[in-house]
Amino acid sequence: MVHTHTLFEWHPDLIWTLDVEGHMLSANRAASQIGTQSYEELLLPADRANVRAWLMGAVAQQVPHGGQSALAHPVQGRLQAAWTVLPIVEAQQTVGLYLIARNLAVEESPPPDDELREVKELLESVFRYTKDAIVLFDPNGVVLRVNEAFERIFGYERSELMGRWLPVTPEFEVVAVQTQFNKLIQEGHSYTEHETRKLCKDGRLLDTLVTLSPIKNRDGQVVAVTGIVRDLTESKTTQQLLVQTEKLSVAGQLAAGVAHEIRNPLTALKGFVQLMEGGAVAKEPYLRVMASELNRIELITNELLMLAKPQAHSVKVQDVGAILLEVIALFETQAILRDVQVIAELERDLPPFACDENQLKQVFINFLKNALEAMPAGGRIDIALWHDGDLIRVSFADQGGGIAPELLTRVGEPFFTTKEKGTGLGFMVCKQIIENHHGEIRIESVVGAGTTIEVLLPL
């Protein structure tokens, strides 16, 4: 049995146990003997935000965080300390934290043999019995050791892995993994974390979360690297099931909406057909109404087909600004007739963007058309295009009547629309197109002031 309580209580460093909110639960002897009520009393005001960030980072990411800051010791005065936050994880949930403060001005003496043995046993227990796969590399990426979970998850015997590069990295990931491994050693990060796919011995690919951490000697040189591989396959499958359930829910809403939207024009058509069967002459007003109802049905079915069937996806590197200018030119005449001024501020020399030109043009046409229709008495539309980090942003802002907050949450529902003759399917088509480009759409609206739609496209 590993006596972790003894290690905590008698360790020479200042150690506190905290809850996930950062509130102190207990302190070891070294921390209690300095006479303060809380670790926060030892921090200078300028350092409290940093320590708080380390605490929250350890809770969220379930990996150690820390750094250096001043420590206001009540007896020894101001010292420089190294702070380490260790998350306490149970059933994949962070349930608490260890906060450790080490005085860097004190020359460390070797810990007693029994303490070294206890720490070694604790680490060995974690290595052996954790459910995540753990691997230990030398600085060149050669495997030194793997735990039993690694063998179980990937199907390899330990003897097949020792002294070689891991065979669990697919060919298409080898260069990226080597680059990240070398970067970790050269730049001195405390850890790196990324999602990737790993290859089992039987050929199966697993979705995984990989955390790499360097192990350094007293001189700060990296002597080994630990890799923790968490299998995300089950959680990914659950996520896909949730998405599928959501799709079925939307399909049900669509079916109900189609029945409702088509029933009314069908009722009108049926009435006119019955009149004609009874001997009524096909008068011109009857025919106009019938044609109008048939056009309504055709509009709904066309938008449904566009939403449902797979679209031919021709992805090429395009100039988003050029696409947007073409769309603006299409509406120039309509804008003049409606007394609407279109102001475009487009950033030049944007990074090239891989997209389907026709689909992106369809989105811009839909949003500009909606903005025009929102201002029957005239007004102004501001269109902006700019580069923001790893995003291209496009916004359409009108001066129409706006959308009430309770209605704004319903935008995107099938057959919900604020327009008299709309179907509500146009926005769904646009949303699907942008999601196919891995982007998102945001809407802000103020009643009486107008609506802004922003499209975010990742590079």
pTM: 0.39
What does the angle CA 358 – CA 359 – CA 362 come to, to the nearest 5 degrees? Answer: 90
Exposure of 403 in the CB half-sphere (CA atoms within 13 A): 22
* Three-state DSSP class for residue 45: helix
pLDDT for the residue 239: 61
| 286 Cβ contact list (under 8 Å, min separation 6) | 272, 275, 276, 280
Give me the average pLDDT of each 10-residue run along the chain (459 residues).
58 87 87 80 85 88 87 79 87 86 65 60 70 85 86 88 82 80 77 83 88 80 85 73 56 60 75 75 74 75 57 75 86 84 90 85 86 89 90 92 80 62 68 86 90 91
pLDDT for the residue 143: 86
In the block, tokens 């905590």 appear at 8
pLDDT for the residue 49: 86
pLDDT for the residue 33: 82
Cα 383 to chain centroid distance, Å, stands at: 27
pLDDT for the residue 76: 74
Q: What are phi and psi of 47, to 5 degrees?
A: -100, -10
Burial class (CB in 10 A: 0-12, 13-18, 19+), 332: exposed
CA dihedral (128, 93, 21, 96) positive or negative: negative
Neighbour-count burial for 156-189, b at 16+ CB within 10 Å, e otherwise: beeeebeeebbebbeeeeeeebeeebeebbeeee
- Any alpha helices (H) in 374-424, and if so which ranges? 405-408
85/30 Cα distance (integer angstroms): 17
pLDDT for the residue 455: 93
